[in-house]
Structure 1
Amino acid sequence: METKQYPQPPDWQRDFPYRQEEARLVTRREFSRMLCLISAAMVTGSGYVAIRSFWKGKSEPAGRFPVCGVSELPAGGTRSFLLPGSNTPYILIHLENGQFKAYEQKCTHLSCAVFYKAGTGKIECPCHNGWFDANTGEVVQGPPPRPLPALEVVVESGQVYVNGPA
């Protein structure tokens, strides 16, 4: 009497068994179509965001805006402020030499909040150890690619004003 030998399935079939009827739930063509549709949706969304940012432009307010009184901010002190109609945070610094400087309070590297270190003449970004010169806004060290955007500061009759970005 002869025993019938059945062929052994390949190793991959033993490791990943599947049923033919389950394999047909999503075909390769359907999977590829789904990937293409998702990719197209992501490209469309990214394009929309890019076009909107270029089309919109910057709508920062122009003009002169009061921030505080000269006596309200001691030398080495700072004050955060927003311009009317804007969501961009700014920082007013009363330097130890008596000058007032105003900069955007977002680091030019990854938009982390920056802080003035009193007595050092430097503005610090604690996220990635970036430093800016408090007199000019120029990068002193670290990864920031460009200086901090500055506002013109005007002191008139005991009041500190800033001129909106041009």
Structure 2
Amino acid sequence: MSRDRSGDGKRSPDGKPEAEQPPWRRDFPIDTAQDAYVARRDYAKFLVLTSLAFVVGQFGIAFAGLKRAIARAPAREVARVEDIPPGGAIVFHYPGPHDPCLLVRDVDGSFVAYGQKCTHLACAVVPHVDKKRIGCPCHEGAFDMATGRPLAGPPRRPLPLVKLEVRDGAVYALGVEDRTV
């Protein structure tokens, strides 16, 4: 590209002298040679700041996981054994008041509990104890009642498992395990 006639070293993008430039280019002069120039110092600052942002993000993720591990939900009684007949189910809220869970008693008398929100679009799931399934009525999804793993429909992740303990005639929820596989 050629320099303009003023001799100040600035070049226009089309290389024409300044007298031949359109009015808008004179109002908004941009030195294209300097426009794309990045000094090594500026580039190094960018790399350091970007790396620092990634490190801070990783520490944030680790801190959140640690905080979640420390603040585990306390054990809480969710039902009495005699209140749930074999083949029955109840809804309870654990660990918080906005976390619905489903406690199912199989016909053999064993208990299992899962989060009641479908892992596809958070519809409320319902037990089908006779079929050994937990179904989602929204999109015909189905989960295995024994494992909580998806069997049919759009859900790809298993239901969150609520860890249980039965003692002294009561069922206690001990914690929630979010599972991905």
Instruction: Return 5+ residue gaps in structure 1 as ranges.
Output: 1-53
User: Aligned partner of 1:156: which letter?
Assistant: R
> Do the aligned partners of 2:129 and 2:145 also contact (CA within 8 Å) in 1?
no
Larger radius of gyration: 2
Alignment TM-score, normalising by the size of structure 2: 0.57
User: Aligned partner of 2:85: which letter?
Assistant: P
Is 1:111 the counterpart of 2:149 in the alignment? no
For the residue of structure 1 that corresponds to 2:82, the secondary structure is: helix
Q: Equivalent residues in 2 for 1:2-151 (5 A)?
A: 61-83=72-94, 85-151=96-162
> Do the aligned partners of 2:73 and 2:95 also contact (CA within 8 Å) in 1?
no
Deviation string, structure 1 residues 104-132 (Cα, Å, up to 9, x no partner): 00000000000001311100000000000
User: Aligned partner of 1:151: which letter?
Assistant: V
The 3 A distance-change label for structure 1 pair 84 and 144 is closer
How far, CA to CA, are the matches of 1:84 and 1:129 in structure 2? 27
Q: Which runs of 4+ in 1 moved over 6 A?
A: 54-60
Q: Aligned residue pairs: how many?
A: 113
For the residue of structure 2 that corresponds to 1:137, the secondary structure is: coil
The 3 A distance-change label for structure 1 pair 110 and 163 is same
**Which residue pairs with 1:6 in the alignment?**
none
How far, CA to CA, are the matches of 1:110 and 1:133 in structure 2? 18
RMSD after superposition: 2.1
User: Aligned partner of 1:105: which letter?
Assistant: Q
Q: 1:153 Cα shift?
A: 1.0
Higher relative contact order, structure no. (Cα contacts within 8 Å, ≥ 6 residues apart): 1
